[in-house]
Amino acid sequence: MGKMKQVYRKPTSQEIIRQADHLSLYDRYGSMAYGIILQIIPEPELAQSVLIDLFSSLQIRSYAEMSAHTTGNIIRLARSKAIAARPVPVTQSIPISNTNDNTEKLVFDLSFCQGYSLEAIAKKLQLSHTNVLKSIYTYFKHLRSP
Amino acid sequence: MKTYHYLKNGILEAYLLGLTTEKEKEEVEKLLTTDADVLAELNELETSMEEYFLRNAVPPPPSVREAIELRINETEIKKWDDVPYSHSNPKSAESNSSEPSYINVEFANTHIRVHKNWRAAFIAIFILSKVFLIFGLYYYFKSSSQEQEIIRLKAAVQQTAPLPRSLTP
């Protein structure tokens, strides 16, 4: 008797907007974020799980509400979530396997893809912090030039 | 001079990629609110960085979109489960909401859902009620026995007391 029965609840207009915000951001930035996550975690299953986590997170909702700097915010969030979800945590020692890479690419790879701090990279590569930052600047300057 | 330094030293690139320390991040964010040149450079950089990452973009499988949709719905339902009654009250609903946030629940039931903390409160109330009941019964029987004792003593006093002189033969 009197069994609690919850009927189907129609989503409110706000919920629909929120869902649409998440999905519209996913449609716009999903491929980019997946590419970033795959650079950090080269395992498609885990990368997809991080991508789902990323686009259903509360931070994404706040990005949807503010129009400015969405790309930067998504890049940073995708990177931080991917680094946190990596099966192999970041170690203190930096393995430098590919010596053919130029310094700029190496710095970008170690910092962005492998999650090493700029200080650790500077120490390992025997560069100053300013020069490490300069390497990142140069790397993107080359990318920007037509 | 400081602006030029910021535009050329790679800190904006590092900020966009999330590589800066908290201190550097705060510094950049502060500068972005005051320096239009730095803000313009950041916007331009963001566009080119988006282009770069789009070149390396990988389309995820369609199942990911469905999973995100499902997760958002689950989050919304969970959120509603966690919302106390006062929040679903239209009077206290979010001010930016154009319509009241009701949950349509069928009314023909006799059950209510309460927070699990009420269990401890109900147990405490039950134990206290039993304690008070025991004390009540104890004092009730004690007072009734005392009343009987008083009546008995009065009767004894009346029997042992000497009769008034007028009544003596």
User: Do the domain assignments include residue B73?
Assistant: yes
Task: Kindly state whether residues B101 and B133 are assigned to the same domain.
Answer: no
Q: Apex CA B139: angle with CA B135 and CA B141, to 5°?
A: 120
Below-50 pLDDT ranges, chain B: 86-97
* Mean pLDDT score, A9-18: 57
pLDDT of residue B100: 52
pLDDT of residue B109: 60
Task: Kindly state whether residues A63 and A119 are assigned to the same domain.
Answer: no
User: Do the domain assignments include residue B169?
Assistant: no
Task: Kindly state whether residues B51 and B98 are assigned to the same domain.
Answer: no
Task: Kindly state whether residues A24 and A69 are assigned to the same domain.
Answer: yes
User: Do the domain assignments include residue B26?
Assistant: yes
CATH number (domain holding residue A69):
1.10.1740
Is the Cβ–Cβ distance between A33 and A72 less than 8 Å?
Answer: no
Task: Kindly state whether residues A59 and A122 are assigned to the same domain.
Answer: no
Average pLDDT, chain A: 79
- From A56, A85, A114, the end of a domain falls on A85
Task: Kindly state whether residues A46 and A81 are assigned to the same domain.
Answer: yes
Task: Kindly state whether residues B7 and B52 are assigned to the same domain.
Answer: yes
pLDDT of residue B91: 46
pLDDT of residue B134: 97
Which segments of chain B does DSSP mark as H helices, in order? 2-8, 11-17, 22-34, 36-55, 62-82, 85-88, 117-160
- From B30, B58, B86, the end of a domain falls on B58
With CB atoms and an 8 Å threshold, state whether A31 touches B57.
Answer: yes
pLDDT of residue A2: 45
Query: Distance of CA A87 to CAs A46, A50, A78, A98, B149, Å?
Result: 9, 12, 16, 21, 84
Q: Is the dihedral of CA B79, A55, B24, A119 positive or negative?
A: positive
Burial of residue A26 (CB within 10 Å: 0-12, 13-18, 19+) is buried
ipTM of the complex: 0.74
CA-nearest residue to B72 within chain A is A56
User: Do the domain assignments include residue B168?
Assistant: no
What's the number of domains chain A is made of?
Answer: 2
**Distance in angstroms (rounded) separating the CA atoms of residues A142 and B113:** 62
Task: Kindly state whether residues A28 and A77 are assigned to the same domain.
Answer: yes
How far off is chain A from B134, nearest CA to CA, in Å? 35
Burial annotation B5-36 (CB, 10 A radius, 16+ → b, else e): ebbeebbbbbbbbbbbeeebbeebeebbeebe
**Distance in angstroms (rounded) separating the CA atoms of residues A141 and A109:** 16
The domain containing residue B108 runs over which residues? 61-113
Task: Kindly state whether residues A25 and A75 are assigned to the same domain.
Answer: yes
Query: What would the pLDDT profile of A30-87 be if each residue is shown by its tens digit?
Result: 999 999 999 999 999 999 999 999 998 888 877 766 667 888 889 999 999 999 998 8
What's the number of domains chain B is made of?
Answer: 3
Q: Does B19 touch chain A (CB under 8 A)?
A: yes
Task: Kindly state whether residues B70 and B109 are assigned to the same domain.
Answer: yes
pLDDT of residue B125: 96
With CB atoms and an 8 Å threshold, state whether A22 touches B72.
Answer: yes
Task: Kindly state whether residues A25 and A81 are assigned to the same domain.
Answer: yes
pLDDT of residue B89: 47
Is the Cβ–Cβ distance between B69 and B84 less than 8 Å?
Answer: no
Task: Kindly state whether residues A22 and A68 are assigned to the same domain.
Answer: yes
Query: What would the pLDDT profile of A89-130 be if each residue is shown by its tens digit?
Result: 666 566 655 555 688 888 888 988 888 888 888 888 888 888
Task: Kindly state whether residues B77 and B109 are assigned to the same domain.
Answer: yes
Count of pairs with CB atoms under 8 A, one residue in A, one in B? 149
- Of residues B14, B72, B98, nearest to A136 (C-beta): B14
Task: Kindly state whether residues A123 and A60 are assigned to the same domain.
Answer: no
Task: Kindly state whether residues B52 and B5 are assigned to the same domain.
Answer: yes
The domain containing residue A107 runs over which residues? 103-144
CA-nearest residue to B44 within chain A is A144
